[in-house]
Amino acid sequence: VSLDVQLVLLLWGTLVGLDLVSVPQMMIARPIVAGTVAGLILGDLNTGLRLGVVLELFQLDVLPVGAARYPEYGPATVAAVSAAHLSAGGLGVGLGAVVGLFIGMLGGVSLHLLRRLNARAVHAAAPRLELGDTGALIRLHAASIARDGTRAALVTATGLALAWGTRVLGATLTPRGLTVLAAAAAGAALAAGTIGTLRLVGRGPGLRWFAVGLGGGVLAAWLR
């Protein structure tokens, strides 16, 4: 993968990281979107879609309410697709998931640190804010967004570096080992996505609707 492509991935990961909380929350941060576009950038749409699906399932386990702390899967998915593409393509889904889950955790920690840094900046600017100083308000807000952009770029860069290093790991695994890893990652993703969804659906009438959909899905999968 050329340096140009790595830079485009870094830019995409940064935009994806900004989208999650800061601006504009249009859901390019969802793994299914981040992964598909990363796959297109790498010229490997299939791997992008597959890892997008795996990490989207993990994302379904996350409900981003209030001050909750959660993994950040957007930049992680970009790194995951890069890792899978560099390692073994279609069979590299498991290796991609290893990178994606680890960077997802790291992204979550970085978001917590960012919020603490923002709180410190707000605390320092509080006297000017209480005077209704518009300049101070806009500067504070813009600096916070810039801080988030820097954070997202750092997380993506770490992920892309890890993806590069994962090639070595991939070379030590046989095709059978890669299959085991891919199957395990997909299984964990299906379990996490199902439980996350059932938590939203609840035990009331929603569960009956879920069962109706499940029946239709089984039929559609069988007919395909």
DSSP structure class, residue 116? H
Q: Which is nearer to other proteins, 10 or 32 (CB)?
A: 32
Site for other proteins (CB under 8 A): which residue of 2, 168, 203, 224? 224
Q: Which is nearer to other proteins, 3 or 179 (CB)?
A: 179
Site for other proteins (CB under 8 A): which residue of 1, 8, 141, 164? 141
The pattern of x and - marking residues 81 through 100 that bind other proteins according to CB under 8 A reads: ---------xx--x--xx--
d(CA 182, CA 179): 5
Give yes or no for residue 2 binding other proteins (CB under 8 A).
no
DSSP structure class, residue 129? H
Give yes or no for residue 164 binding other proteins (CB under 8 A).
no
**Is the peptide bond between 175 and the residue preceding it cis, with omega within 30 degrees of 0?**
no
SS3 content of the chain, % helix, strand, coil (to 5): 85, 0, 15
Q: Which of residues 118-137 bind other proteins (CB under 8 A)?
A: 118-119, 121-123, 129-134, 137
DSSP string, 20-53: HHTS--SSTTSHHHHHHHHHHHHT-HHHHHHHHH
- The stretch among 4-12, 30-38, 80-88, 155-163 that binds other proteins (CB under 8 A) is 30-38
Q: Which of residues 42-61 bind other proteins (CB under 8 A)?
A: 45, 49-50, 52-54, 56-61
DSSP structure class, residue 69? -
